[in-house]
């Protein structure tokens, strides 16, 4: 995942659109994988918060969106490595 500047409006728009493209079903899968891998309470909790706000990124702070997208990328990379 590219590094985004949460203070740059263009980067923020890109992050919000990437967040909004993730479906409820995908969030459930990410949460299940994070729980299975014991990724930590805070990470699992923020993924659950993101799942509740799926498709409506305007209710999350740029910092939270960035954190969640980094977790999603980490999970996807680990899944690719296992495949």
- DSSP states along 26-82: HHHHHHHHHHHTT--HHHHHHHHHHHHTTT-GGGS-HHHHHHHHHHHHHHHHHHHHH
DSSP state of 21: T
CB 1 within 8 A of CB 69: yes
Residue 56 pLDDT class (50, 70, 90 cuts): very high
Average pLDDT over residues 13-17: 95
The whole-angstrom separation of Cα 78 and Cα 45 is: 19
Choose the weakest-confidence range: 21-25, 50-54, 73-77, 78-82: 78-82
Give the predicted TM-score (pTM) of the model.
0.90
Least Cα distance to 56 among 26, 28, 17, 27 occurs for 17
């Amino acid at each position: 995942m590219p590094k985004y500047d949460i203070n740059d409006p263009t980067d923020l728009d890109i992050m919000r659109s990437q967040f909004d493209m993730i479906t409820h079903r995908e969030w459930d899968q990410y949460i299940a994988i994070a729980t299975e891998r014991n990724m930590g309470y805070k990470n699992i909790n923020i993924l659950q918060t993101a799942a509740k706000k799926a498709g409506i990124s305007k209710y999350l702070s740029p910092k939270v969106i960035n954190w969640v997208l980094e977790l999603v990328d980490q999970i996807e990379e680990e899944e690719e490595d296992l495949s």
